[in-house]
Each structure stands twice: as structure tokens, then as C-alpha cells.
């Protein structure tokens, strides 16, 4: 399957295994991933955030319940909330989630904004788990004719070492651990030296016992900087 589907499938597999109840997709674009997540019945709250409100609105109708959903009243109700906002800004409504996904977004931020993003997601939202995907620049050697970035709006593309060093610092600063993986394999001979086409970091919050309440009490502010576009 195409790479964008493989990235979303990675998230779906994680959800199947870990059964998060509250999930937010940052940089949700036209809600493609949210539409797939909607069918996972363990999820009670599904949120999406994108800086581009028009793109979010374009196809969000498909997130509305289908008539068959009403025929299964034994299932818990799912709530969907779509926001326009920037991942560099805090919003109290997105704190305390079980899973934050961020697929092919960070490379669209300046490095200064990546710093803000890290503080917002890992320091403020403090979810139990975070999945981040971004291009692996080492893989670009396999794209004939690509000399710059894969996309003109990318502000950077990281090697595995660069992604790793950013992720390790985030973990130290905010008490998370991370595992590295990816999707889009090179040929077996090249996999080791080049890595995956999209690199993925899966983060888990450490010291989960009482940190949820402490983290929420610590910051004390209940800022709402995002615009609620739709709630279903
Ligand atoms: N996550 C989707 C996917 O898996 O296909 C879309 C990825 S698209 C390459 C990047 C998305 O990030 C765009 O929809 C863009 O509007 C959004 N974006 C860029 N900067 C953002 C920011 N500061 N805050 C929130 N979303 C942002």
C-alpha cells in the first residue's frame, strides 16, 4: 500500500493493541486518519487539530454517525471534536489524552516552533503515548532526482540520528521513553544503512502512577486558544 496508508495503518495497529480511550490527531488535515479511527469502539473521545480550518471542514461530514451506528445502542457513545489551532499553542481541552498522533507534521514547522511543539505536547498535554512520524532524510538517496526536500513546504528533514537526538532530549525534559521504528522499507540490503522511508517515534510517559493529577494541577492555567469547528 502507499506510504500515507502505511503510516495510518501503523496508528490503527497501535490503537488495536493499546486501546486508548481519548485520541487526538495533530495536523489532522482532511480527517482521513480520524475517519479510520472512528471505527475503533474503545475510543470515547476523538479530537483533531489543524492550523488550516478550511481543510478540516472539507470532508468532516464523513465523521458524522451513520444510520447503522444508531442500530448498535450497546456501544458507548463516541464524541468527535475538531479544532482549528496551532500545535505551538496550548489548549486545556486537549490535556490528559491517552494518545496523541502527529503524522508528517513536525517537518512543516520551523525549528523554533518544534521547540514550542515539544513543550506543548510533552510538557502541557502530557498524554500517555505519542506517535510522531517524519521523513527520514537518509532514505532520500533512493529517490532519483530529489536533491532538496521531499516537499517544498518542509522546513527540514532529519536523519535518523537527528530525529533520535531531538526525541531523546524530549524524553529527558518531560519524563518519557521512546522507541524508534518506521514504515516504507528499503531493500533488505539497504534497510540497515538507510532505514525506513518515514521514521516513527513511539513515546510513552514514565511514572504514570500519579503524574496525571500532578501534571494537571501544576500548570494551573486553563487557556483555550483553539477554535472549536465542529463537535459530533
Ligand atoms: N497528518 C496528515 C496525514 O497523515 O496525512 C496530514 C499531514 S500534512 C503533510 C501536514 C498538516 O499539518 C497540514 O494539514 C497542515 O495544515 C498542518 N499544520 C502545519 N502546521 C501546523 C501547525 N502549526 N499546527 C497545526 N497543524 C499544522
* Domains located in the chain, CATH noted: 3-231 (3.40.50.150)
Cell of 32: 482521513
What number is the average pLDDT over the span 48-63? 93
SS3 of 194-205? HCCCEEEEEEEE
Considering the chain, what percentage of its residues have pLDDT values greater than 70? Answer: 90
Q: Predicted confidence band at 209 (pLDDT cuts at 50, 70, 90)?
A: low
Mean pLDDT for all residues in the chain:
90
**Site to substitute for ligand 1 among 4, 48, 50, 155, most atoms within 8 A of C-beta:** 50
* β-bridge mates for residue 134, sequence order: 199
Asked whether residue 23 carries a pLDDT value surpassing 60, the answer given is yes
Residue 123: predicted pLDDT: 96
Residues for the chain: how many in total?
232
Predicted interface score ipTM higher than 0.85: yes
More confident residue, 32 or 72: 32
pLDDT tens track for 74-117: 556 789 999 999 999 999 999 999 999 999 999 999 999 999 99
Specify which of 23-37, 68-82, 201-215 reaches the highest per-range mean pLDDT. 23-37
Report the separation in Å between the CA atom of 71 and the middle of ligand 1, taken as the mean of its atom positions. 35
Residues with CB under 6 A from ligand 1: 4, 7, 27, 29, 33, 49-52, 55, 86-88, 103-105, 108-109
DSSP 91-130: BGGGTT-SEEEEES-GGGS-HHHHHHHHIIIIIII--SEE
Q: Which atom of ligand 1 is nearest to the CA of 151?
A: 9
Q: Predicted confidence band at 194 (pLDDT cuts at 50, 70, 90)?
A: very high
* β-bridge mates for residue 101, sequence order: 25, 131
Residue 219: predicted pLDDT: 56
Burial level of 20, CB count in 10 A (0-12/13-18/19+)?
A: buried
Report the separation in Å between the CA atom of 226 and the middle of ligand 1, taken as the mean of its atom positions. 15
pLDDT tens track for 124-170: 999 999 999 999 999 988 887 777 888 889 999 999 999 999 999 99
Amino acid at each position: 500500500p502507499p506510504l500515507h496508508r502505511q503510516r495510518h495503518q501503523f496508528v490503527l495497529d497501535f490503537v488495536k493493541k493499546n486501546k486508548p480511550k481519548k485520541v487526538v490527531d495533530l495536523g489532522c488535515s482532511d480527517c482521513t486518519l480520524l475517519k479510520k479511527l472512528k471505527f475503533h469502539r474503545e475510543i470515547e473521545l476523538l479530537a483533531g487539530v489543524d492550523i488550516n480550518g478550511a481543510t478540516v471542514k472539507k470532508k468532516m461530514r464523513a465523521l458524522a454517525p451513520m444510520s447503522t451506528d444508531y442500530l448498535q445502542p450497546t456501544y458507548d457513545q463516541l464524541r468527535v471534536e475538531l479544532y482549528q489551532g496551532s500545535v505551538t499553542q496550548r489548549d486545556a481541552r486537549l490535556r490528559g489524552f491517552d494518545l496523541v498522533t502527529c503524522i508528517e507534521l513536525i517537518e512543516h514547522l520551523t525549528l523554533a516552533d518544534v521547540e514550542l511543539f515539544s513543550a506543548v505536547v510533552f510538557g502541557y498535554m502530557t498524554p500517555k503515548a505519542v506517535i510522531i512520524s517524519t521523513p527520514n532524510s537518509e532514505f532520500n538517496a533512493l529517490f532519483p532526482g530529489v536533491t532538496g526536500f521531499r516537499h517544498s513546504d518542509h522546513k527540514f528533514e532529519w536523519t535518523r540520528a537527528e530525529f533520535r537526538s531531538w526525541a531523546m532530549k524530549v524524553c529527558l525534559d518531560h519524563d518519557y521513553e521512546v522507541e524508534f521504528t518506521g514504515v516504507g522499507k528499503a531493500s533488505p540490503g539497504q534497510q540497515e544503512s538507510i532505514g525506513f522511508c518515514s521514521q516513527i517515534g513511539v513515546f510513552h510517559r514514565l511514572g504514570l502512577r500519579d503524574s496525571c493529577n500532578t501534571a494537571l494541577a501544576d500548570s494551573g492555567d486553563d487557556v483555550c486558544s483553539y477554535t472549536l469547528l465542529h463537535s459530533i
